[in-house]
Amino acid sequence: MTLKRRFDFLAHLLKASVRQHHREMIPVFSPHIPAEAVVIDVGAHAGQFSKLFARMAPQGRVYAFEPSAYARSILTRSLAFNRLPQVTVIPMGLSDAPAELILRTPIKARGGLGFGIAHFGEDGQDTRDTMDQVVPLTTLDAFAQQEGLTHLDFLKADVEGWEVNVLKGGLKTLAKFKPALFLEISDVSLARAGAKPSDIWDLLRPLGYRAHKGPDFTAVDGYAGVEDYLFVAE
């Protein structure tokens, strides 16, 4: 690890450990995350959402899926520092089928890692070098069965365009438990994975989900630009 990356790692770790982002989302999330909630955080990154979920559900369980070794090295230390044992870190990604894929982490101009935008697939537009890592993938359905989940209240996915794959691998679980879904949706990112925003609506509408677009989370009938979307089953 270069000296630059050592300093970056310490800065990332400090920020992840002592700051709590996304507090403004508590009123949006609280109707869907009771104290005993089971939450799945797909693409947990450095753990800001996982920490928030754990504090909202102190008697619950948070499963933090993070396939990136770099991000996970920050995530696990941050959770330990904050004494949040109800968060279980899963060193895998979620997809539509079990597999191994290359996770590409862009290298910034000054040599730092853009670990917040690590992604599967290539779009042919980003000319930056990447740090590549082969990572294991499972499905939400397989995980839910393996863990014997009896309920699932909330799922957040920020996976840089892999959202359709995550949903396809969890349709049985979504149909059974109807968790609220918090998804970052970008047409450009989805295209990198060979998908489009309408694919998400096509998967979720038959399950009774309705979308609400951030930042004010008003109801929308379809994709209305790059943003966070909250899907709630009616």
**pLDDT score at 126:** 56
- Mean per-residue pLDDT, 161-186: 97
Cα 102 to Cα 119: distance, rounded to the nearest angstrom: 8
| pLDDT value at 137 more than 80 | yes
**pLDDT score at 185:** 97
Cα 39 to Cα 45: distance, rounded to the nearest angstrom: 15
pLDDT band at 105, cuts 50/70/90? confident
Return the closest-CA partner of residue 54 out of 70, 73, 33: 33
Residue 210 lies in a domain: yes
| pLDDT value at 224 more than 80 | yes
Cα 185 to Cα 158: distance, rounded to the nearest angstrom: 8
Q: What would the DSSP string read from start to end of 174-201?
A: HHHH--EEEEEE-HHHHHHTT--HHHHH
Return the closest-CA partner of residue 37 out of 87, 92, 90, 89: 87
More confident residue, 13 or 57: 57
Residue 200 lies in a domain: yes
Range of the domain at 224: 3-95+137-233
**pLDDT score at 104:** 83
Model pLDDT for residues 27-39, shown as the tens digit of each residue: 999 999 999 999 9
**pLDDT score at 15:** 87
Among 21-35, 50-64, 124-138, the minimum mean pLDDT is found in: 124-138
CATH number at residue 228: 3.40.50.150
Q: Which residues pair with 88 in a beta bridge?
A: 63
For 10, other C-beta atoms within 10 Å of its C-beta total 11
Q: Is the distance from CB of 53 to CB of 154 less than 8 angstroms?
A: yes
| pLDDT value at 118 more than 90 | no
**pLDDT score at 17:** 86
| pLDDT value at 124 more than 60 | no
**pLDDT score at 125:** 54
The residues, ordered by sequence, that sit 6+ positions from 216 with a Cβ below 8 Å of its Cβ are: none
More confident residue, 127 or 49: 49
| pLDDT value at 122 more than 60 | yes
The residues, ordered by sequence, that sit 6+ positions from 127 with a Cβ below 8 Å of its Cβ are: none
Residue 166 lies in a domain: yes
pLDDT band at 123, cuts 50/70/90? low
Residue 152 lies in a domain: yes
Structure tokens at 60: 């619950």
Residue 126 lies in a domain: no
Among 39-48, 92-101, 129-138, 146-155, the minimum mean pLDDT is found in: 129-138
DSSP state of 98: -
Report the DSSP pairing between strands 99-106 and 130-138: antiparallel
Residue 105 lies in a domain: no
**pLDDT score at 114:** 61
Percent of the chain residues past pLDDT 90, beyond the cut: 75
**Across all residues in the chain, what is the average pLDDT?**
91
| pLDDT value at 54 more than 60 | yes
| pLDDT value at 143 more than 90 | yes
The residues, ordered by sequence, that sit 6+ positions from 71 with a Cβ below 8 Å of its Cβ are: 44, 45, 46, 115, 118
pLDDT band at 12, cuts 50/70/90? confident
Q: Domain tally for the chain?
A: 1
For 206, other C-beta atoms within 10 Å of its C-beta total 10
Q: Is the distance from CB of 185 to CB of 223 less than 8 angstroms?
A: yes
